[in-house]
Amino acid sequence: MIGYIVDIEFVWGFQARIAGLSKTSPSFYYPPPTTFLGALAEVIAKENNIGEDEGKRIIPKLSNNLLAIGWKPLNCIPIKYADINKIIAIKITSGILYPHPKDLTKSFDSPARGRTILSTLDDDAPKIRWFIVFRKDKFIFNGNEIEVNADSFWKMHRISSKESRISVTDVKRVAPVIIKNKSVINYSIPVKEGINLIRGRGEWRFEYYVDPFEVETYDSQENPLINYLTKKKIILFGSPILTSILSTPEYIVEFNNKFAAYKYEKEVVIGRWSK
């Protein structure tokens, strides 16, 4: 078991929209946990000369190795908004290829697209801290052993869309202590059967993400969009909302023997239990 605490600085915020809500869709409060795994997978693929098609299989490998993942804001508030974007329509309708100079109204569109600004509470850039715990620091891919280390996190450069630029400001490799049955959690919390939220302090928001513990290799029978819309492999996460840098949201959580809390100093994240 190995843990990493990663501090990430955002340029402005991020763009990660809720799937399935037509062309106008709102953004999440925080980047979904699978986007963090995707950012890490991109680094691993580049470092090991793995192509794009093969690289899609790295995220399921990370998911299978994952024990816990959580995040909390250090100095910022998420503000969701939507702005108008000009979209070029590339399509064929009634045998006509668009965009078409004689029919401009069908050649362009302007839907509102969601984004999340991370508004800082101090004079520093907005920062979010991630706490991630793996069973092992290595996994097998195509018969080769691939290592996940601190350098992998340092090289992350975006989370979510290509416009969602980040800079990693600190990476700490830690050996977390395991806590069973009950703990005070100060990171995001997966809401699943067997995890009971007792009492919270501060402000929290709840939203559905693709389950980072159940990511499978995509094939024709396993469409991720359909899974999301039917809530087949979706999980509810409670996320802390910082309203003051002087007070950190917390939750007292009880959980059964399928789960465990992982603690390093004052940082506590909850995830699944693995011997």
Q: Give residue-wise pLDDT tens across range 178-188.
A: 999 999 999 99
Q: Are 77 and 126 in contact (CB under 8 A)?
A: no
Both tokens of residue 80? 């969701």
Confidence of residue 251 (pLDDT cuts 50, 70, 90): very high
Pick the closest to residue 261 from 147, 151, 180, 166 (CA basis): 180
Q: How far, in Å, are 100, 163, 173 from residue 73 at the CA level? A: 46, 20, 19
Q: Cα separation of 120 and 158, whole Å?
A: 19
Q: How far apart are CA 119 and CA 141, in angstroms?
A: 39
Residue 21 corresponds to which amino acid? L
Least confident of 24-28, 136-140, 226-230: 226-230
Q: What is the pLDDT of residue 232?
A: 62
pTM of the model: 0.86
State how far the Cα of 116 lies from the Cα of 113, in Å rounded to an integer: 10
pLDDT at 127: 96
Overall size of the chain counted in residues = 275
Q: Please compute, for residue 113, the number of CA atoms within 13 A of its CA located in the half-sphere on the CB side.
A: 13
Q: Within 10 A of 7 (CB to CB), how many other CB atoms are there?
A: 16
Closest of 249, 238, 237, 197 to residue 74, by C-alpha = 249
Q: Specify the DSSP element, H or E, that contains 134.
A: strand 127-134
DSSP-derived 3-state class of residue 150: helix
Spatial contact of 29 and 207, defined as CB atoms under 8 Å apart = yes
